[in-house]
Structure 1
Amino acid sequence: MQKKRTGTIVILAILLAIVAMGLFLYNSPMFERKPPQITLEKDIHWNLRNPIPLQIKDDCGVKFLRIILSDGENNIVLLNETYATPKKEIDTYVEYPKTGFFSKSSTLILKVEATDGSKWNMFRGNKAVAKAQIFPDTKTPNLLALTNSYKITKGGVALVAFKAEDENLKDVYIKTNFGHLFEPTPFYKEGYFVSLLAWPSHEDTFKAEIVAVDKAGNESKTRVKLFLENKRYRSSTIALKESFIEGKITDLAKRYARDFNTMDDLAKFKFVNETLRSDDEKTIAKVTSAVTPMPSNKRIT
């Protein structure tokens, strides 16, 4: 009887050890069960020049990566990499092959396979597959300046009308040499646009260029041809009258100055003419310059 009890205890101990080992392995990072995360857009318009960004992440680390481009009949392996040290994050780019692949197909398939370094799945790791449908597009948008003002005066505005067409048109804007983007307004019918262009008085010169970009990144540009008229704005000097200071100047100073009670007539005038006017000019400039700031790499030189 004693031997049976001892045998039963041993068997139970072995079973408990097996269960404990199983739980340990099941929850161990070495046996992580999450497949790699592949960041890739499902539908991509590609001009075959700009690389396609690709990101793969995995808690255990990516051990194997394969990238395949196919037109349904022909395949080419763009990347077939095994990493001796698994990488938890891979940021790379897919480039169109310069040789070994030619297709006239209107669509391509980009397939990405990633396997991590986990011991799960009989030590084969977790595998993830992502596919993207590629729409090759190497044609630039059709862009035509229809009409515009003959000239633009420094501190003034001009008008331009143009036509921009593309099956996959993404963005249309007008950029300047001083870092502003003007967003045109659709008018007349589809594909036609109109926009006002402003030449700030503090800018020495003015250049404007219409830009049309499609979903594949193809870009068309055309310069807006304007005659530039430089205008000098006069600075005038006026005589101060007591009635003027006691009237509007005093009213404004009393409303906006915090130390009005300590001000003499000269201090009131200086506050209104310098401090208050400066604030107003900044507000006007901010409102009238409410256009999209342009990255330095998009500015005209």
Structure 2
Amino acid sequence: MKKLWILILLLIAGAAGFVYFSPMFEKTPPSIQIESNGFTNLKKPLKVILKDESGIKYYRVTMIAGGVVSELATLTDPAMGKEVVLKINLPKTNAKQIKINIAAVDNSKWHFFAGNEAKKSIILQVDTTAPLTEIINNSYAIGNGGSAAAVVKVSDENLKDKYILVNGKYRFNLTPFVKKNYYVALIAWPVKEKTFDAELVAEDMAGNIVKEHIPYYWRKYRYPKAKIKISDKFINSVAKRVLEKMDIPIPNDPVEIFKKVNETVRAMNEKEIHDLTDKVYEDKISYFSIARFNPLPGSAVRAYFGEQRTYYYKGEKISNAIHKGIDLAKVKRAKIYSSNYGKVIAEKYIGIYGNTLIVYHKLGLYTLYGHTSVFKVKVGDKIRRGQVIARTGSTGAVFGDHLHFGVYVQGYAVNPIEWMDPRWIKLNVTNVINGAKRIINK
């Protein structure tokens, strides 16, 4: 009899151990993940992800709105699998707030074969109204490769994002201006783009999006074309030097050496410059003042912005590029002046541009000074108008001493000639911003 009781106890212990340790009786409830920021416009489905190692066999989703309970989805099916993705359509309601309840049960035999149950709830703020937008003032026209200004109004109590989108792909951030809900931006027409379109885009936390066209007339600039012969001397003494300085392997073929510099290195350099010049640092501005840029007084223009360059080696076309600045020449190691107040954000060697200085002037506007021989300022320095900031040189992918002067708006190269013309600045930038300020303050 004693042996029988021992056997029974062993069997009970074995069964208990099997139940406790067997995967069939796992005790972890399903995980419930709800992809939401706490807002809904009732248009976008609510995504819910259910996961469990033993598989999901049941789920139920309900909504409580204005005290009324609605069943949104339910299913019992042990073969649903270890991961179930639900996209729950939310019904229309006048309630400003709704509660979503989710329950899920797995295939475990735990709880007397009932399985493990998980429950999760989320409260969503209902917002079906899109942000309000208004174009307050903008430049009359913009040229290909050029710049323009815009002042807008965007209001929404749950505003998530607002910006100007050019050609559906170039984003320009807006800076708060003068009063609440008003914003200002400088924008650009990237030189490689044949057409131009600008939209004010605003989105709220619930996913309501509004787009408003900003009217600009087009100015079509005709940029020069240049055929440039590349010599062995340039390849051996200039192109190779750039690759060596950047620690890039040098090809054996002279054409490949030049292409490596003009295409691969140029792309790297332009990406770096974009990343250095794409930010707007002000939290808010109440005015914007800028004088004409004249970094090398008394100099001669050697090459213009937008110049479409085709390179030839021994009579064969080997590469091309678009010049994204203006080349100014004077005397060797000529003084380079700051035309406006600003802050130095980079002074470094940037491949084809050589020793390069970049200065920030507010509202996403930057100036670049390339091929310099000496820096007179350092990163973080605040510079004043008329200050000597560098000297010209021949560093980078050039032979002769000159200044490559570039202007950038939120990361995109624009025509410096515009910013060297006081009349253009007044008509297209300062008058637009000041005129908007008067409208806002009425």
TM-score range, shorter chain: 0.7 to 0.9
Check the 8 A contact 2:148/2:188 in 1, yes or no.
Answer: yes
- Pairwise CA distance, 1:8: 2.4
Check the 8 A contact 1:257/1:271 in 2, yes or no.
Answer: no
Check the 8 A contact 1:42/1:131 in 2, yes or no.
Answer: no
- Pairwise CA distance, 1:43: 5.7
Match of 1:111 in 2: 101
The answer to whether 1:200 aligns with 2:190 is yes
Match of 2:271 in 1: 286
Q: Which amino acid aligns with 1:256?
A: V
Match of 2:2 in 1: 8
Task: Rate the CA distance shift 1:178–1:94 in 2: closer, same or farther, 3 A.
Answer: closer
Q: Deviations over 1:263-286 (max 9, x none)?
A: xxxx99x99997655567535643
Match of 2:146 in 1: 156
Note the 1:35-184 alignment, pairs <5 A. Answer: 35-40=29-34, 44-97=38-91, 103-177=93-167, 179-184=169-174
Give the fraction of aligned pairs with identical amino acids, expressed as a percent.
34
Question: Using the alignment, how far apart are the partners of 2:217 and 2:175 within structure 1?
Answer: 23
Question: Using the alignment, how far apart are the partners of 2:106 and 2:177 within structure 1?
Answer: 54
SS across alignment from 1:59: coil
- Pairwise CA distance, 1:157: 1.2
Q: Which amino acid aligns with 1:232?
A: R
**Root mean square deviation, CA, Å:** 3.1
Q: Which amino acid aligns with 1:151?
A: A
Q: Which amino acid aligns with 2:167?
A: N
- Pairwise CA distance, 1:45: 1.0
Task: Rate the CA distance shift 1:15–1:148 in 2: closer, same or farther, 3 A.
Answer: same
- Higher share in helix: 1
Match of 2:242 in 1: 256
- Pairwise CA distance, 1:255: 3.7
Q: Deviations over 1:166-193 (max 9, x none)?
A: 1100111222226222222223233222
Check the 8 A contact 2:105/2:116 in 1, yes or no.
Answer: yes
- Pairwise CA distance, 1:61: 1.3
Check the 8 A contact 2:37/2:205 in 1, yes or no.
Answer: no
Match of 1:297 in 2: none
- Pairwise CA distance, 1:144: 1.0
TM-score, length-normalised on structure 2?
0.54
Question: Using the alignment, how far apart are the partners of 1:253 and 1:71 within structure 2?
Answer: 69
Question: Using the alignment, how far apart are the partners of 2:11 and 2:228 within structure 1?
Answer: 100
Q: Deviations over 1:59-81 (max 9, x none)?
A: 11111111111125211111121
Check the 8 A contact 2:56/2:78 in 1, yes or no.
Answer: no
Q: Deviations over 1:21-78 (max 9, x none)?
A: 1111111111111111110157621111111111111111111111111125211111
Task: Rate the CA distance shift 1:92–1:271 in 2: closer, same or farther, 3 A.
Answer: closer
The answer to whether 1:27 aligns with 2:39 is no
Question: Using the alignment, how far apart are the partners of 1:21 and 1:95 within structure 2?
Answer: 45
Task: Rate the CA distance shift 1:123–1:272 in 2: closer, same or farther, 3 A.
Answer: closer
Question: Which stretch shifts more, 169-178 or 23-32?
Answer: 169-178
Q: Deviations over 1:195-241 (max 9, x none)?
A: 2221122211111111000011101111111111111111357999x
SS across alignment from 2:54: strand
Question: Using the alignment, how far apart are the partners of 2:91 and 2:256 within structure 1?
Answer: 68
Question: Which stretch shifts more, 81-90 or 57-66?
Answer: 81-90
- Pairwise CA distance, 1:257: 6.7
Question: Using the alignment, how far apart are the partners of 1:125 and 1:271 within structure 2?
Answer: 67
Q: Which amino acid aligns with 1:18?
A: I
Question: Using the alignment, how far apart are the partners of 1:172 and 1:58 within structure 2?
Answer: 40
Check the 8 A contact 1:86/1:117 in 2, yes or no.
Answer: no
Query: More relative contact order in 1 or in 2 (CA 8 Å, sep 6+)?
Result: 1
Check the 8 A contact 2:139/2:150 in 1, yes or no.
Answer: yes
Question: Using the alignment, how far apart are the partners of 2:188 and 2:81 within structure 1?
Answer: 51
SS across alignment from 1:96: coil
Check the 8 A contact 1:252/1:272 in 2, yes or no.
Answer: no
Task: Rate the CA distance shift 1:253–1:114 in 2: closer, same or farther, 3 A.
Answer: closer
The answer to whether 1:218 aligns with 2:208 is yes
Task: Rate the CA distance shift 1:93–1:275 in 2: closer, same or farther, 3 A.
Answer: closer
SS across alignment from 2:135: strand
TM-score, length-normalised on structure 1?
0.78
Match of 2:311 in 1: none
Question: Which stretch shifts more, 207-216 or 170-179?
Answer: 170-179
Q: Which amino acid aligns with 1:156?
A: G
Q: Deviations over 1:91-141 (max 9, x none)?
A: 01111236xxxx433211111111112111122111111111021111010
Question: Using the alignment, how far apart are the partners of 2:229 and 2:51 within structure 1?
Answer: 73
Check the 8 A contact 1:182/1:195 in 2, yes or no.
Answer: yes
Q: Which amino acid aligns with 2:267?
A: K
- Pairwise CA distance, 1:9: 2.9
